[in-house]
Chain A
Amino acid sequence: MQNKSKISSTAYKVLILMKLLNEENLNLHEISQFFSNQKDVFTPLSKEVILKYLNTLKASGYKISKPASSNDYRYELIKAPYLINLSKDDLITIIKLEHFIENLFLKELDNSLKNVLIKMDKFLPEQSAEYYTKIKNALYENNSFELNIFDYSEYAEMIHKFEVYCAEAQRVQITFKIPYEESEKTITLEPKELNYKENKVFISGYNPLNNENQDINLQYITDTKQLPTRSKNTRSTSPVIFKLKGRLATTYRPYEGEKIYKDESNYIKVYTYTEEKNNLLKRLLKYGDDCEILYPAEIRETIKETIIKTLNNYVN
């Protein structure tokens, strides 16, 4: 609080109370506690003074709920002093967004979105809230979202399991069997995030044993076990380095986890740390002769072998 002599102390305290209630619901004790905790700024407020301040807010047009057991005896500012105007289309976008996240079966993310919407609700005019409910019912009734989301319901349980693993940042032992490979594999993974590609869901993470990033299709996972070791939140320390030339060099935009270095006028060098090796190889093959893998030698060799084997497809 600056220039105390030039402001109204009472008005300031009422505005502070309005700001507090705009951010969270509080009971009389919590309000009193807040003012008491800042003795250098405020004198402690009696219950009567707080009630008078609340009355002032009500008189100013703000609806404040009465404390009751249903709201844990807290005062709630029903609508914020400042309301956000959303068009009908914006409200439909919110509903589509909710529907989309629900269908990814990411419970934590779904809860986070709901939390944001609860916070936003206070800022929406009453007619917006009514329209939101009406249109939501209609969209769900007719299933007219037009989003073309793949059906991930068969992975719902596993998606949630990995979402928790990612949040808890613990290493996980994963056993999986890829249909075109003979035997099962068991690896240790520091899970980072779930990725959706077309109708498949992958758990992406860092394998500390081979120092590589790895994506595993949930469909092929046969067993998981959370290990008592915490993830070190690391990523592959050894980058894959590739060189781009021509049009690609001038237009290339780095993907997540990539850094670009320009060392010659016609070339750029890209250092990539996070992309899974097989996905990266597929992407770099797309770039044709505009791309050369420089490091490490084994990936350079892998791409060379891939090119030779592909050429062999056309012999005879």
Chain B
Amino acid sequence: MRATPKNDLIKISDNISVTAYRTICILNLLLKQPSNEEEISLHLKEQILNNKNLSSDTIYIYLNTLKAIGCNICRPCKTNNHKYVLKSHPFMLQLDDNDLKSLVQIRKYISNLKNWKFILEVEKLFDIIQDNLVMESKKKFEKLRNASLRYPLTQKIIDTIQKLESHAESQNKLEVVYSSPINGIKNIKIKPEEILYENGAFYVHIINLDANEAQYLRVDRINSFELLRNYNLNISELPDIAPVQYKLKGASLYYFIPGENESIISKTEDEMIIEEKITNKFKFYQKVLSYGYDCTIIKPLSFQKEMVNKLRSMLEIYT
């Protein structure tokens, strides 16, 4: 896109530099579209009153002037349909190091929000900013952005997220080809529930229809998926959500914020009893372990036993 030129034809006068005017006309034309010599000549005629026909040599001089200022203009050849193509120019947005670092810092703060939609919106905006930066700033911004990501965010991941969200909304069932770090590539029948963003990665919370349990799949590990059109699933077949009660005490009391599936059953100055409807056991144990000795699972017994087994196995490492 370029600045809007005046509609009136320009008269050659002492008040402007015609050579410069013509050169800028060519720049504006190339900003709009790739053009060949004939189109450039015609464009100049349309812009200047009584403009004489310009020789090829004169047009080359104008193009060379643009190159001298820092425009990267490809020569006409078969691949570009014999047109001059403006690849880059020095009139793009220029941001200094402090601006670029601030943008990356802002993105870091946004990832704490866990609002995956906003994260994607900001990524799209940053892509546009990056594409419109002068070459030096562009390279720096790209480097800073890549260095700050734990997991690279590709267009394929963005497309997969958007499609999965749409399938989750429509309550569709899918067969995904998943690249598991342990079992290699495998096909899983799933019902996607929601998209999540955690620790720098996008996940989809799913019901694994074969295993009949809730799981989390990392979106970047999903190679492809297909809609399961005739898969019958009775709602009663969906995994039970197990209620588990645990007790919190000490410093953890000060940091506890109930999650979506958690409710506080009782609370005193020294302890709190919380009930959680577990959708994913793995994540639950991770959380409970992170509380350390501030947390004790109260019921059911099966969860207590599993917790004790986990702790014993951890202790073995250090004895």
A84 contacts B132, C-beta separation under 8 Å = yes
Query: Which of B23, B93, B181, B291 interacts with A247 by CB under 8 Å?
Result: B181
Known: A3-B64, A56-B20, A253-B150. A90 touches B128 (CB 8 A): yes
Query: In the complex the two chains form, is B121's CB within 8 Å of A82's CB?
Result: no
On chain A, the residues within 8 Å of B103 by CB distance are 113, 116
Is A180 a contact of B251 with CB atoms below 8 Å?
A: yes
Are B16 and A6 in contact, CB atoms less than 8 angstroms apart?
no
Q: Is B51 an interface residue (CB 8 A)?
A: no
- Contacts A120-B129, A198-B257 hold; do A81 and B31 have CB atoms under 8 A apart? yes
Q: Which of A3, A84, A308 has a CB less than 8 Å from the CB of B128?
A: A84
A227 at the interface (CB under 8 A from B): no
Question: In whole angstroms, what is the CA distance A180 to B252 when docked?
Answer: 10
By beta carbon, the residue of chain A nearest B120 is A93
Q: Which residues of A contact B150 (CB under 8 A)?
A: 253-255
CB distance from A244 to the nearest CB of B (A): 12
Is the Cβ of A109 less than 8 Å from the Cβ of B2?
A: no
Asked if A303 and B61 make an inter-chain contact with CB atoms under 8 angstroms apart, the answer reads: no
- Main secondary structure, interface of B, reads helix
B interface residue numbers (CB < 8 A to A): 1-6, 10, 14-17, 19-25, 27-28, 31, 60-62, 64-66, 68-70, 89-95, 98-99, 102-103, 105-106, 109-110, 112-113, 115, 118, 121-122, 124-125, 128-129, 132, 150-151, 181-182, 200-201, 250-251, 253-255, 257, 285-287, 289-293, 295-297, 304, 307-308, 310-319
Measured CB to CB, the residues of A under 8 A from B are: 1-3, 6-8, 10-16, 18-19, 22-23, 52-53, 55-57, 59-63, 79-86, 89-90, 93-94, 96-97, 100-101, 104, 109, 112-113, 115-116, 119-120, 123, 125, 147-149, 178-180, 195-200, 246-247, 250-251, 253-255, 281-283, 285-286, 288-289, 292, 300, 303-304, 306-314
18 contacts between A and B (CB under 8 A): A6-B60, A8-B62, A52-B16, A61-B5, A81-B2, A86-B125, A93-B124, A96-B121, A109-B105, A113-B106, A116-B99, A125-B1, A180-B253, A253-B151, A286-B289, A288-B286, A310-B296, A311-B315
